[in-house]
Every structure is written in C-alpha cells, then in structure tokens.
Structure 1
Amino acid sequence: MSTDGDASGAAGVRGRRALRLAIGTAICLATSFGLGWPIPMVAPVMGAFVLASFDRPLPAKSGVGLALVAMLATGSGLLIVPFLRHYPFSGVLMTGLGLFLAFRQGLRGGNSLVGTLLAAGLTMISVAGTVDIGLAVTVIAALVKGLLLAVAVLAHCYWLIPEPAKRPAAPRGPAVSVHDANWMALRSALVVMPTVLLALGDPAAYMPILMKAVSLGRQSCTMARGAALELIGSTLLGGLLAILFWWALGLFVHLWMFFLWMLLFALLLARKLFAGPSARLSPGFWLNTLVTLIILLGQSVEDSAAGKDVYHAFAVRMGLFIGVTLYACLMLRLLDQRPRGSSRVRPST
C-alpha cells in the first residue's frame, strides 16, 4: 500500500514539474516576442533548460549569482574573437578546447546549465564577434536577459504550482569517471565544432544552427552507447511539431494564441520528459525535441516579420539541422568504437 502511495506521489511531483515547464516556457516565449527582444527565441530556450534542470526555485541571491556567472561565461567568447580574426587556426583550437572543458565540467558533477551557457558563449559570441562586436554584445544581452527571465519565471511557476510539503531534494546522480568524462566531452566538442566553422562564414544566418549544435552537444553528453539515433529522432520530431505548430498558429495569428499553442505543445513534450524510469526514451530526447521546435518556430516567426519566404527558409534550415544531426550521429558511432567497460552516463534533463 505504501509502495502505491509512493509511486502516486512521485507521479504527482513529475506532473507538477511538467506543468511548470510548459507554463514557464510559454511565458518566456510570449514575453520575449511580445516585448520585441533581439533574438527572441533565446528566452524560451533558456526557460526550457532552467525549468528542466532545477527541481525547486532559486533564492534571489542564487538567481543573481547565476546571472553573473552566465554573463562571465557567455562573455568569455569575446576573448577568442581577436584570435579568430587574426589567427584563425589558433582561435579554432581555443574554441574546441573551451568546448571540451565546458562539457567536461558538467559531466564531472558541475552545473550542466553553466556548461551549456559557457558552450554557447564560446560558439555564438565568438563567431558573432568576428563580424561585429555589436552583434556579439546583442547575443550576450539576449542570453543573459533570457536567463534572468527564466529564473524569475521558475520562481513564479513554483508559487503558482507549489510542491508537496516536506518533499526531500531529488538525489543527484553520481559523477562520471574521469576517463569517461574526457571521452564524452571530446565527443560533444567534435559534435559542435563543424557548425562553428560553418557559421564563421555568415554568423547572423547560422545563429539558430549554432544553438541547435550546442543543444546536440549537451544531449550527446548524457547519451548511452548505441543511442545515437535519438539525436536524429528528436530533430525530426521537433521539425514535424514545428510544422504543425505553424499551421495551427496560422488559424488565428495573435500573441495570446502563440502563448496558448506553445503551452499545449510544451506540455505534451514535458509529460514525456518527466515520465520517470518507465520512459522508453531519455529525457534528453524530449528536451532536444522541445528546443528544436522553439528554434525552428521562433526563426520562422522572425522570417515572416521580415517579409522573407518562410517555407523556403524553413526547408533550408531544417536541412541544415538534419545535416548537423547526422554528423553528430556519425561522431557518436565512430567514437563509441572503444573498449567496453565504461560506466553508463546518468540521464539528465
């Protein structure tokens, strides 16, 4: 009887987290697009990462500290800009090393969200800075504002949907061994680097592809051997959902409908993300699907506002997403050909 009660309580907690993630992501999306923030898709992506990473609200001091860490982490990309401009080979090597260290610290028990922000700074900021420092500062501002909004929304969602009283903190999984952390951090860095080289030619056009590559690198850190097909599956599912979302939004174009449709789609994915131990697919699969949906949809809205051909741009962008994901699958396949005996990576949201 107590076992049934514990299972029911755990399911209730997971359901609350799913509802918070859906509401929080939709609020971040409506706020960033409604206020006309630059690169508005960043805020809901940050919201999804924050609400999936933390199982309780952050104190005000911790939230401010996280924002400062984010500013320093993303701003670190500015240090590589002079090398990418004047010594490209050295700059690319420094970017690769930075990505390796960023992913490694998350695997060794560090904050995976900070590692993701550091990876975003090393890629998006440094690449944008090769063309225009103003563009790099705009990207930094978008990332920091998106994170601050996500932290505020996290607290609001826990006030709106509180946790059961005296619920113990979720146990943290064990850190990966040094050998496995090095190997998987290298694998994740190799997943992201070709997109960095591609984006150096046209940073503004390839910014969404860089966001997708960083998301793939984060997901590949938490994947077990042989699960590379989850990468392409989540990308294709995210693209399909983006098409359905765009069609549904076209029935009645309004910011409130944008919010409500995002709430519905995010809730469907969040229920799978927090399904618990019985889930067939990893939490990273569903989180990457949601991030892919947000990036594709947000960029399509921006293309429509700019008067571009939305369908052609979507087809090109989706093709690039699939190409980047297939390359990531190839890297996972090739680098998984190592001696057996490594520990399994703990699943992480």
Structure 2
Amino acid sequence: MPTEPPTETGLPEPADDQASARRTWDRRALRLGLGVTLTFVIALAYDWTLAYLAPIFTAPLLQAPRAPTPRAAVGILLVTVLIMALCLVAGGVSQAYPALFLIALFPALFWTFRSGLHGGSSLVMILLLVGLMLVPMVANTTVEITRDVAGSFVGNIGISLAVTLLLFALIPPLPTEPAPAPKPVLPTAEVTRRAWILTTITGSYAVAYFSFGWTNVHTPIYIAIYAFSANLARGLTVTKGILAANVAAGLVTLVMYQLTVMAPHFPFIATMTLAVILVLARMITSDAPWAPLAGFALSVVMILYGESIIPFSDAGGANFADRLGELGMAAIYAVAALYVLDAYFPQKQAGVGRMPDPSG
C-alpha cells in the first residue's frame, strides 16, 4: 500500500517546507524503484516457483517509514512459515473434503479482511489472502507442486526482506523526515460490514471455482485484492480509477512485452523495468490524490510482465494474454459486486449514542 504523504510538524518557511517534502519523496521513490527492480532482476535471473510475485512483497516493505529491525525481519519470516504451513493443511483438507474447506474458508477470510480494515499489517494480510486462496486451489488441480508453491512464498518474503534491508542501508531516511500521517480508524460496526462484504465477494467466487472445476487459480486472488483496494477508498469513489489504472498498467505492460520480444536481452530488460518502476514509484510517493492508484498499477505491471517473461519461453505471449484477461475479469467482477452489495447493505448512519464515522 502506498505511503501516506508527510504531514507538517512545525511552522517552517513554505519554500523550505516544499523543498524538504520533495527531497523526501524523491528519496522514497528512489528506494522503492531500485528495490522493486532489484527484486525483479533477481527473480528473472534465478527463476523459482512464483518468482514473479517477489516484487509485490518488496513494495510494501520499502514503503514503510523505516526498515524493519533484524528481530522484526526474523519475525516476519517465521510468520510466513507458519501461514504457509497452515495453508498446506488447508490444501490437504480442500483436496479431501472440499465442502468442509469452503465452510471454513468464509470465517478465515472474514477474520483476514477484518484485521486488515482494523489497520493490521498489509503484508501479512496479502500473505493470508494468497495462502488461503492459492495454495488450496493449486492442491485441487496439481498436488505435486503444492509444497513448492508454499515454499516459494517463504523464499519470496526472504528475498524481499533482504532487499529491503539493503536499500534502507544504502538510502536511509533523512533525520528530518516526518513520520507518515496516522491512518484513520473506522468504527467497529463499519469494519464488520465491509469485512462481510469482502468475504462474500471473494468466498462466493471460491465456491464457484470448486463447484465447476475451474483451473485459473490466480483470478480469486486478483478479486480479493481488487475488492480490498476499492473498499479501502472509503466508499466507491475511486473504483473507476482502479479500472482505469488496470487498463493503463495493461497498456504499459503490453509495450514493455513487445519491446522485450524485439530485444530479449537481460541488460535491456533490467534498464527498461527500472525506468518504468521509477516513474511509478515517484507517483506513489507523491501527495497526489491518485497516488494509491499508481501503487495499484505497479502491482499489475509486475504481475503481468513478470509472469510473461519469467522464465523466458515461447508461451510468454499466451501467458500475457491469459493473465490480462483474468485481471480484467477480476476487476469488473470485484467492482460490480462491491456496488451491488454496498447498495443492498449501506453504511449505517450515526445514531443516538453512537460516535460519528470520522470518514464522513
């Protein structure tokens, strides 16, 4: 998730304050762009299972105001191991008892979304969503690689943490860099309402997936992330922007892929990726209202481009077209479902004895 714009903590001169803010944004953008690109290059060079997802985990780590301490980094890695172990168990249950798995999936999704809406770690939430959806669905189609899929997430997080620590060491935060603004807190009733809506959207697709024997294991994950991103916008005011960001990211990735086909050389790919990611990173770290959409576009570009060329193969074009179609379908389904459910289950107005919603 994108870093919030810095807030003023004193009364400096306007010119000095603007220059300081711009310097902060530039350093954050450089750290984010170099880190995500480095992770992508490592994934491209060494190619392990689901290597193209590693940059997606690096981005939120690099957008934090400070680097994780060594103890925190070890803790994140251990939590990842625990989550993937639980997801392997869930995968076994989904293969043997799919109905039982689907029954248990709904409360697990609700708890995950509720924790995220309450301000929990976005990285842990993404891991839980991906683990709960992807690992059991892979087990339902190809049992042999289930362990590789679960293990790849541990490797992805390990690489992401190492790159994050390196980039924060090379480009440390400025001593005068202000802390990010605190995230607004939603009322408990509103958190519960949104969590149930997101659970319904994601869980219903999972039921259809198992019922009809579908094999597109990525689509449910895209749906969950699309819906959560739109829901975080405090209403549905930016859902059109999310769709536009998806289209724009698809067009950018299409150009990148065509250039890669014309010049399939490692240095060229690395340089082109760095240029694109630096532009997106600078947009993410700005205080523009569309900065969150740039963060969303970054994830789409990495997913589309990464899976298309990691590893190099003749099926890259087919992978690109398939993944672009899945992303588009997931975006349309998630946004449409949000509109419908939000209309049928609207936010309750503040009443007597209830604190007003700070989001307005």
> 1:58 offset after TM fit, Å?
1.0
User: 1:57·1:154 contact (CA, 8 Å) conserved in 2?
Assistant: yes
> What corresponds to 2:302 in structure 1?
294
Structure 1 letter corresponding to 2:117: L
The structure 2 residue matched to 1:336, chosen from 324, 339, 342, is: 342
> 1:130 offset after TM fit, Å?
2.6
Trace 1:2-81 onto structure 2 (pairs within 5 A): 2-52=13-63, 54-81=64-91
Residue segments in structure 1 that go unaligned for 5+ positions in a row: none
> What corresponds to 1:247 in structure 2?
258
Q: TM-score, normalized by length of structure 2?
A: 0.85
Q: 2: CA distance between counterparts of 1:158 and 1:316?
A: 36
Trace 1:105-120 onto structure 2 (pairs within 5 A): 105-120=115-130
Q: 2: CA distance between counterparts of 1:151 and 1:211?
A: 22
When structure 1 is superposed on structure 2, of 14-23 and 192-201 the one drifting more is: 192-201
- Structure 1 position 315 matched with structure 2 position 321: yes
The structure 1 residue matched to 2:216, chosen from 192, 206, 212, is: 206
Q: 1: CA distance between counterparts of 2:324 and 2:204?
A: 17
C-alpha RMSD of the superposition: 2.5
User: 1:77·1:126 contact (CA, 8 Å) conserved in 2?
Assistant: yes
> 1:46 offset after TM fit, Å?
1.2
Trace 1:139-150 onto structure 2 (pairs within 5 A): 139-150=149-160
User: 2:284·2:291 contact (CA, 8 Å) conserved in 1?
Assistant: yes
> 1:10 offset after TM fit, Å?
2.0
> 1:297 offset after TM fit, Å?
1.1
- Shift of the 211–12 alpha-carbon distance from structure 1 to 2, 3 Å rule, reads farther
Partner-residue secondary structure (3-state), 1:280 = coil
> 1:189 offset after TM fit, Å?
2.6
Q: 1: CA distance between counterparts of 2:23 and 2:103?
A: 47
Q: Which has the higher contact order (CA 8 A, sep 6+)?
A: 2
User: 1:77·1:121 contact (CA, 8 Å) conserved in 2?
Assistant: yes
Q: 1: CA distance between counterparts of 2:318 and 2:13?
A: 56
Corresponding residue pairs, total: 339
> 1:105 offset after TM fit, Å?
0.6
- Shift of the 344–215 alpha-carbon distance from structure 1 to 2, 3 Å rule, reads farther
User: 2:52·2:310 contact (CA, 8 Å) conserved in 1?
Assistant: no
User: 1:26·1:44 contact (CA, 8 Å) conserved in 2?
Assistant: yes
Q: 2: CA distance between counterparts of 1:258 and 1:194?
A: 39
> What corresponds to 1:127 in structure 2?
137
Alpha-carbon deviations, 1:42-97, whole Å to 9, x = none? Answer: 11111123223x12111111101001112212332223234322332331132222
> What corresponds to 2:353 in structure 1?
none
> 1:184 offset after TM fit, Å?
1.9
Structure 1 letter corresponding to 2:325: G
Alpha-carbon deviations, 1:235-277, whole Å to 9, x = none? Answer: 212211110111222342222222221111111111111111x
- Shift of the 325–316 alpha-carbon distance from structure 1 to 2, 3 Å rule, reads same
User: 2:49·2:152 contact (CA, 8 Å) conserved in 1?
Assistant: yes
Structure 1 letter corresponding to 2:225: S
Structure 1 letter corresponding to 2:294: W
The structure 2 residue matched to 1:172, chosen from 157, 164, 182, is: 182
Structure 2 letter corresponding to 1:36: D
Structure 2 letter corresponding to 1:270: A
> What corresponds to 2:166 in structure 1?
156
Q: 1: CA distance between counterparts of 2:89 and 2:205?
A: 20
Partner-residue secondary structure (3-state), 2:116 = helix
- Shift of the 23–312 alpha-carbon distance from structure 1 to 2, 3 Å rule, reads same
Structure 1 letter corresponding to 2:305: L
- Shift of the 168–210 alpha-carbon distance from structure 1 to 2, 3 Å rule, reads same
Q: TM-score, normalized by length of structure 1?
A: 0.88
User: 2:230·2:335 contact (CA, 8 Å) conserved in 1?
Assistant: no
User: 2:117·2:191 contact (CA, 8 Å) conserved in 1?
Assistant: yes
The structure 2 residue matched to 1:184, chosen from 163, 173, 194, is: 194
Task: List structure 1 runs of 4+ shifted beyond 4 angstroms.
Answer: 197-203
Alpha-carbon deviations, 1:4-33, whole Å to 9, x = none? Answer: 322321222122111111111111111012
The structure whose Rg is larger is: 2
Q: 2: CA distance between counterparts of 1:303 and 1:60?
A: 32
Residue segments in structure 2 that go unaligned for 5+ positions in a row: 1-11, 351-356
